[in-house]
Chain A
Amino acid sequence: MTAGFGSENGASASRRRRTVPRGIGSMLPAVTAVASLLGLCLLWSLAAEIWPSRAFPPPLEVWRVIVKEAASGDLGYHLAMTLWRVAAAYVVAMVVGSVIGVLLGTHRRADSFFNPWLVLFLNLPALVVIVLAYIWFGLTEAAAIGAVAINKIPNVVVTMREGARALDPRFAEMATVYRLGRLDRLRHVLMPQLQPYFAAASRSGIALIWKIVLVVELLGRSSGVGFQIYLYFQIFDVAAILAYTLAFVAIMLLIELLLVQPLERHATRWRRRPA
């Protein structure tokens, strides 16, 4: 009897779960993410209570610094400078890396010739590239962005080369038979096939780029999050360091949620969705 009741309850429960309105169902991941972040904050403030130290401020104090810096306009300015450098380096790295990657992926001899170069650049430390760029080209904006891009380009090349190797020759043959123009081929045949690889390179790229941008700013720029962090490091102001870091991470998160994910959903709309 009880077993019967139990299974009946189970069935009705699962039916109820299925009838949850779509709005709430799609909100669930966001709610989970917020709860998870709140948990982390709670853990952090607890730890700060237990070990009180100037070097380990509680989240509330970090928040106060964020508000203060934002009110003075400093936060906005430095975030904007860093964001622009990230964007510029990202565009340069993705465009140059994609072109080289596709060329290497479609030309076997060029690939075997340039592969050692690629391995060399992949293993070149970011710091070395930055220092050399500053020495050779001066402490300029172009040198800074170029150095970041050069650090990222080999990764893009490797990913896009895989993408180019995986191109389906049947689509190219169809395009030849039906005499598609160069632009049409690029837009309708080549780019959609490379899109998943481009998205993968983008994802890993943007995270890597913003970390390198901070180093570039620390070493040779007088603005940006990296510069501010260096400044506050000299006076051991951990709250301000965390304030700038978290503010920028939050912005990157917003970009991911509001720009990258919707774009990706649009680009993959033709894939059969799981029912």
Chain B
Amino acid sequence: MQPAGVAAPLKVDITEKTFRSAEGVTIVALRGLSFEVRQGEFACLLGPSGCGKTTTLRILLGLDRQFSGSYQLPEGGSNRIAAVFQEPVLLPWRTVEQNVRLALSPHLRDKALDWLFEILGLSAMRSLYPSELSLGLARRAALARAFATEPAILFLDEPFASLDERTADRLRRLLMTVWAARPTTALMVTHNLREALLLADRIIVLSPRPAQVLGIFDVGLSRHLRDAPALNNLVSDFHKRFPDAV
């Protein structure tokens, strides 16, 4: 038994996940995928496109139950999970603030969120509808929604894909600022090595399909020291350890 307030880590042990194509061909997406995310750490699942990262995340989010194996989500805290999807998935008919508050459990709907909108630079956009936001701003709103719930674990599915590099970089730094203000266990899926090296404590490196864990890369370096030259060093370190990955 864990003491109250201390969350057990995320444990994943998926034996097999298969898809059946329209022609009846069976495709193995995941086989023998097992890893752990420690309490309070920011982990990245890094693997080539189409290796089954998003499939893994959908299983952990409870959106896909057709698999064999098991996983254990952290307990304690708010006991909730939050997700930032590849697209923002904001309800177009609700304002930014309504979108964020809807994700909260009913008795917390009125809680103060000024700090969150402030950090993410959304204070002036609270009453706008998603169609009035740029893609970058919509993603910030999606981040606000995820952090507002104070989740026991946060899942991010390539949240910065399809943004131009400058916007993506601003958002990555914003993510780190919010995360520092409200630390939570987080698992992010990405195929972008530099992004993983910039954000993560540990990188779980996956093989091409069917996804298996090739190894763990401990970034080690403190986040505020990860400037461009440090990142270049990390990239070459990474390639030395995983010459075939990504």
Q: List 18 A-B contacts (CB under 8 A).
A: A170-B87, A171-B89, A173-B63, A173-B89, A174-B83, A176-B63, A177-B61, A177-B63, A177-B82, A177-B83, A178-B80, A180-B103, A188-B94, A188-B98, A192-B93, A270-B92, A270-B131, A272-B131
Q: Confirm or deny: A184 has a beta carbon within 8 angstroms of a beta carbon on chain B.
A: yes
- Chain A residues with Cβ under 8 A from B102's Cβ? 178, 180, 184, 188
Q: Name the 10 nearest CB pairs between A and B, nearest first.
A: A178-B103, A192-B93, A270-B129, A270-B93, A272-B131, A177-B83, A174-B89, A170-B89, A173-B63, A177-B61
Q: Mark A37-79, 1 if CB is under 8 A from B, else 0.
A: 0000000000000000000000000000000000000000000
Q: Is A189 an interface residue (CB 8 A)?
A: yes
- Chain A nearest Cβ from B225, distance in angstroms: 34
Distance, CA A139 to CA B166, complexed state (A): 74
Smallest beta-carbon distance A165→chain B, Å: 19
Q: Is B132 an interface residue (CB 8 A)?
A: yes
- B81 pairs with A177, CB closer than 8 A: yes
The reply to whether the CB of A265 lies closer than 8 angstroms to some CB of chain B is no
A15 interface hit (Cβ, 8 Å)? no
- Check: A23 CB closer than 8 A to any chain B CB: no
Say yes or no for B62: interface residue by CB 8 A criterion. yes
Asked whether, in the complex, the Cβ of B89 is within 8 Å of the Cβ of A179, the reply is no
**Nearest Cβ on chain B to A180's Cβ, whole angstroms:** 7
Inter-chain contact A271/B63, CB cutoff 8 Å: no
Interface residues in B38-87 (C-beta closer than 8 Å to A): 61-63, 80-83, 85, 87
Q: How large is the interface on B (under 10, 10 to 19, 20 to 34, 35 or more residues)?
A: 20 to 34
Inter-subunit contact A272/B82 (CB<8 Å)? no
* Chain B residue contacts of A188, Cβ below 8 A: 91, 93-94, 98, 102
Q: Is A29 an interface residue (CB 8 A)?
A: no
- The reply on B149 being an interface residue by CB < 8 A is yes
- Bound Cα distance A181, B105 (Å): 9
A140-169: which have CB < 8 Å to B?
Answer: none
Cα A178 to Cα B100 in complex, Å, equals 10
> Which residues of A are at the interface with B, using a C-beta cutoff of 8 A?
170-171, 173-174, 176-181, 184, 188-189, 192, 270-272
Bound CA span A171–B103, Å: 12
Give chain B nearest CB distance to A141 CB in angstroms: 38
Name the A residues within 8 Å of B106 (CB-CB). Answer: 181, 184
Whether A174 lies near B85 (C-beta < 8 A) is yes
A177 to B89, CA, bound (A): 12
Structural contact, A170 and B85, CB atoms closer than 8 A: yes
* Inter-chain contacts of A184 with B (CB < 8 A): 102, 106
Which residues from A are CB-within-8-Å of B63?
173, 176-177
Interface residue from B62, B81, B91, B149 paired with A189 (Cβ < 8 Å): B91
Residues of chain B lying within 8 A (CB to CB) of residue A173: 61, 63, 85, 89
What residues of chain B lie closer than 8 Å to A272, measured between beta carbons?
131-132
Other contacts beyond A179-B80, A271-B92: 12, CB < 8 A: A171-B91, A173-B85, A176-B62, A177-B82, A178-B103, A178-B145, A178-B149, A179-B105, A180-B103, A188-B94, A188-B98, A189-B91
User: Which residues on the A side are within 8 Å of B105 (C-beta)?
Assistant: 179
Considering the complex, give the chain B residue whose CB is closest to the CB of A185: B102
Let me know if A270 and B83 touch, CB within 8 A.
no
Annotate B96-108 by CB proximity to A: 1 below 8 A, 0 otherwise.
Answer: 0010001101100
Docked complex Cα distance between A188 and B145 (Å): 15
Q: How far is the CB of A189 from chain B (nearest CB, A)?
A: 7
Q: Which residue of B lies closest to A174 (CB)?
A: B89
Q: How near does chain B come to A268, taking the closest CB pair, in angstroms?
A: 8
- Contact A192 B91, beta carbon cutoff 8 Å: yes
Q: Cα distance A260–B29 when bound, in Å?
A: 51
Given A173-B63, A176-B63, A180-B102, verify A270-B85 contact (CB < 8 Å). no
Q: What CA separation (Å) do A211 and B43 show in the bound complex?
A: 65
Residue numbers in B under 8 Å from A189 (CB-CB): 91
Contacts of B89 in A (CB 8 A): 170-171, 173-174
CA distance A178 to B94 in the complex (A): 16
Residue of A at shortest CB range from B103? A178
Q: Which residue of A lies closest to B109 (CB)?
A: A184
Q: Once the chains are docked, how many angstroms separate the CA of A179 from the CA of B62?
A: 11
Write the chain A residue with the least CB distance to B131. A272
A171, A174, A271: residue with the most chain B Cβ atoms closer than 10 Å: A174
Q: Please give, as numbers and ranges, the residues of chain A lying within 8 Å of B80 by CB-CB distance.
A: 178-179
Listed residue (B62, B85, B91) with the most chain A CB atoms within 10 angstroms of its CB: B91
